[in-house]
Amino acid sequence: MRGLTLLALARAAVEESLDGPRVQVPDEPWLAAPGACFVTLRKDGDLRGCIGSLEAHRPLSEDLIQNARSAAHRDPRFSPLRRNELDAVRFEVSLLTPMEPLEVHSRQEALEKLRPGVDGVLLQWGPHRGVFIPKMWRQLPAPAEFLTFLQRKAGLPSREWLSGTRLWRFTAEDWSEPELRN
């Protein structure tokens, strides 16, 4: 039930931002509690936008609404979503658990501690940061490949482990709208 509510709320938030009806947030205590989520948009199976929060810093309903609108209009990799695209877009929501530090001192140690298919990972070295939510394991199932692409996303050498690199992990509960039928 939570997943259906989150997906409907994400879609309604984007629809409102495209001059649709005003969003009606259900009066549910769990939506008012602090929460962190990612909202992903897909069009024809391809990524169309993805924005999220790593840490709970506002009520979940607000986080979801802002991230849905940002995924639709502010993901720098894509042009803003247009009204005529909305029906062709599929929404996905990932609800994150709090992050926990992952104590590692080498690339090999990181590879040994990662839990494929389970962990989302935040990698940081100085001002460089990269994050993959757990469902990225579907695209990058091998830990070495996952870590290589995460380091690259952070703007770091993809196979070299820089001293002072820090990792955090988290898990997520995911929901997706059904595949669109033609």
Flag whether 179 is in a domain: no
Residue span of the structural domain in which 166 resides: 100-171
Flag whether 127 is in a domain: yes
Type of residue numbered 120: G
Q: Looking at residue 35, what is its pLDDT?
A: 97
Type of residue numbered 160: E
Nearest to residue 176, comparing CAs of 80, 90, 111?
90
Tell me the pLDDT tens digit for each residue of 43-92. 998 999 999 999 999 999 999 999 999 999 999 999 999 999 999 999 99
Q: Looking at residue 181, what is its pLDDT?
A: 56
Assess whether 90 and 6 both reside in one domain.
yes
Q: Looking at residue 139, what is its pLDDT?
A: 93
| Residues shown for the chain | 182
- Positive or negative CA dihedral for 87, 39, 92, 110? positive
Cα–Cα distance for residue pair 120/134, rounded to 1 Å = 4
Q: Write out the two tokens for 127.
A: 């001002």
Q: Looking at residue 21, what is its pLDDT?
A: 95
Assess whether 22 and 88 both reside in one domain.
yes
Q: Of 41, 70, 96, at which residue does a domain stop?
A: 96
Flag whether 52 is in a domain: yes
Query: The whole model's pTM is what?
Result: 0.89
Nearest to residue 173, comparing CAs of 100, 123, 118?
118
Q: What is the CATH number of the domain that holds 114?
A: 3.30.1490.150
Chain center to CA of 57 = 16
- Which regions in the chain score pLDDT beneath 70? 180-182
Residue 173 contacts by C-beta under 8 Å, 6 or more apart in sequence? Answer: 3, 94, 95
Classified as helix, coil or strand, 123 is: strand
Q: Kindly state the percentage of the chain with pLDDT values over 90.
A: 95
Q: Looking at residue 180, what is its pLDDT?
A: 66
Flag whether 176 is in a domain: no
Flag whether 86 is in a domain: yes
Looking at the DSSP bridge assignments, the partners of residue 95 are 37, 173
Tell me the Cα Rg of the chain: 17
Q: Looking at residue 17, what is its pLDDT?
A: 97
Q: Write out the two tokens for 45.
A: 């199976």
